[in-house]
Amino acid sequence: MRTTRAVPLLLATLLTATACGAQVGDADAAATTTVPRCAQSVEYREPRSAVAYEGGSADKLFALGLADKVRGYVMPPANPPVTESPWAEDYASVEMLSDDLLNRELVVDAGADLVVAGWRSGFSDERGITPELLDRLGIQSFMHTETCWNYPGFAQRVTPIEGLYEDMRRLGDIFRVPDRADAVVADMQARVAAVEAAAPRVDPPPSVFLYDSGTDRPNSAANQVPPNDIIRLAGGRNILDDIDGRWTDVGWETVVERQPEIIMILDYGDQSATEKIDFLKSLPTLRSVPAVQSDNFFVLDYNEGISGPRNIDGLERFGGYLRELRR
């Protein structure tokens, strides 16, 4: 679904300061464009001071060439170093506002006019920072479409990769760079199509279990997060694709029962990918799992697994892995 774009207001002269000294915005700032926030239509002013939460949010803005419109970013400890990003120079050009979770005081103090995050992935009822609360403060918000599937009152369900495309288009409209967004999306779509065309055709497709973390119960990827699409589009099948959710805990008995041929490791946090693999190999419970018996482990970078442009990098790498595995 494409968005509607408002016609910019044409002003012959800039409005001057009011008696109390406040400045009235110029033509571009005064114009609004209507863009969906999940399934809710919202009128957006063009942002000049955006705050991004996590690598996926910042990457989307940087991929659209919007570093000069970014006030700063919030990067929780789980996120790998920004120096590893394809947009490392853009990260270096803006301020890191916090290495903790997103909160209301932070965005207010930063003077943010737009906050980019996900529902329950940045925005949170429990921590008191939601789009509705920010609306009341006069701060705009943008939510990743991938996280909208259970957003109260305005749920929207799309596959995660389609959600990525939609985010790029919506952000392109909000920031008034729709042609740039269309070009970015077209490149992503061409790369995805190339992986799909080269995917191994086997029935049944190779089964994959994503291991995020956890000892007593593993945390993994259900069908509403990008790894599900990465696995599917590359020619595999997520063993938890029947679970309607995002990141979810399951029992080890479920993993054993579904006998994954490949285990995908989400690489982040204090425990390295190698340490996670060693842990899984050490579990007596998993000795009968084909992935463990065959030593079939694939490492997915954290920013390839959360909604963002690097999803396509992860897809291309996993597509290559599956093709090599099937030779």
Count of domains in the chain? 2
Whether residues 31 and 177 share a domain: the answer is yes
Report the largest interatomic distance among the alpha carbons of the chain, rounded to a whole angstrom.
77
How many residues are listed for the chain in this entry? 327
User: Is 308 within a domain?
Assistant: yes
CA dist., res. 116 & res. 53, Å (int): 6
Q: What is the mean pLDDT of residues 256-265?
A: 98
Q: What is the pLDDT of residue 28?
A: 52
Q: What is the mean pLDDT of the chain?
A: 90
Structure tokens at 141: 């918000």
Pair (309, 254) in one structural domain: yes
Asked whether the predicted pLDDT for residue 27 surpasses 60, the reply is no
**Is 11 part of any domain?**
no
Is 31 inside a domain boundary?
yes
Model confidence at 326, pLDDT cuts 50, 70, 90, reads: confident
Query: Is the previous residue joined to 160 through a cis bond, with omega within 30 degrees of 0?
Result: no
Evaluate whether 294 touches 207 at the Cβ level (below 8 Å).
Answer: no
Cβ contact 241:224 at 8 Å: no
40 and 105 both lie in a single domain: yes
Same domain, 162 and 298: no
Residue 171 and residue 45 in one domain: yes
- Domain with residue 312: its CATH number is 3.40.50.1980
pTM: 0.89
167 and 65 co-located in one domain? yes
Mean per-residue pLDDT, 40-47:
97
Convert 285-318 into a string of H (helix), E (strand) and C (coil). HHCCCHHHHCCCEEEEEHHHHCCCCHHHHHHHHH
Which of 83-87, 261-265, 317-321 has the least mean pLDDT?
A: 83-87
- 116: three-class secondary structure by DSSP: strand
For 2-11, which contacts have Cβ atoms below 8 Å and span 24 or more sequence positions?
Answer: 2/169, 3/33, 3/34, 3/35, 3/36, 3/169, 3/170, 3/173, 4/33, 4/34, 4/35, 5/33, 5/173, 5/178, 6/31, 6/32, 6/33, 6/34, 7/31, 8/176
**What integer is the mean pLDDT of 146-156?**
93
pLDDT single digits (tens) 198-228: 999 899 999 999 999 999 999 999 999 999 9
Residue 30's pLDDT is 65
Sign (positive/negative) of CA torsion 252, 263, 78, 131? negative
User: Is 60 exceeded by the pLDDT of residue 122?
Assistant: yes
Residues 180 and 280 in one domain: no
What are the backbone angles phi and psi of residue 80, rounded to the nearest 5°?
Answer: -60, 165
Least confident of 8-12, 143-147, 259-263: 8-12
Given this model, what pLDDT does residue 19 score?
31
Is 22 among the domain residues?
no
Distance from the Cα of residue 128 to its chain's centroid: 21
Q: Which of 2-6, 45-49, 120-124, 230-234 has the lowest mean pLDDT?
A: 2-6
The residue among 158, 192, 226 that closes a domain is: 192
What is the domain extent for residue 237?
202-325
- How many Cβ atoms from other residues are within 10 Å of residue 31's Cβ? 19
Q: Average pLDDT of 79-83? A: 91
* pLDDT for residue 315: 98
**For the segment 174-205, what is each residue's pLDDT rounded down to a tens digit?**
999 999 999 999 999 999 999 999 999 899 99
CA dist., res. 47 & res. 51, Å (int): 10
**Single residue among 130, 159, 192 that ends a domain in this structure:** 192
Residue 167 C-beta-side C-alpha neighbours within 13 Å: 30
Same domain, residue pair 109 and 84: yes
Is residue 20 assigned to a domain? no
Each residue's pLDDT tens digit, 275-292: 999 999 999 999 999 999
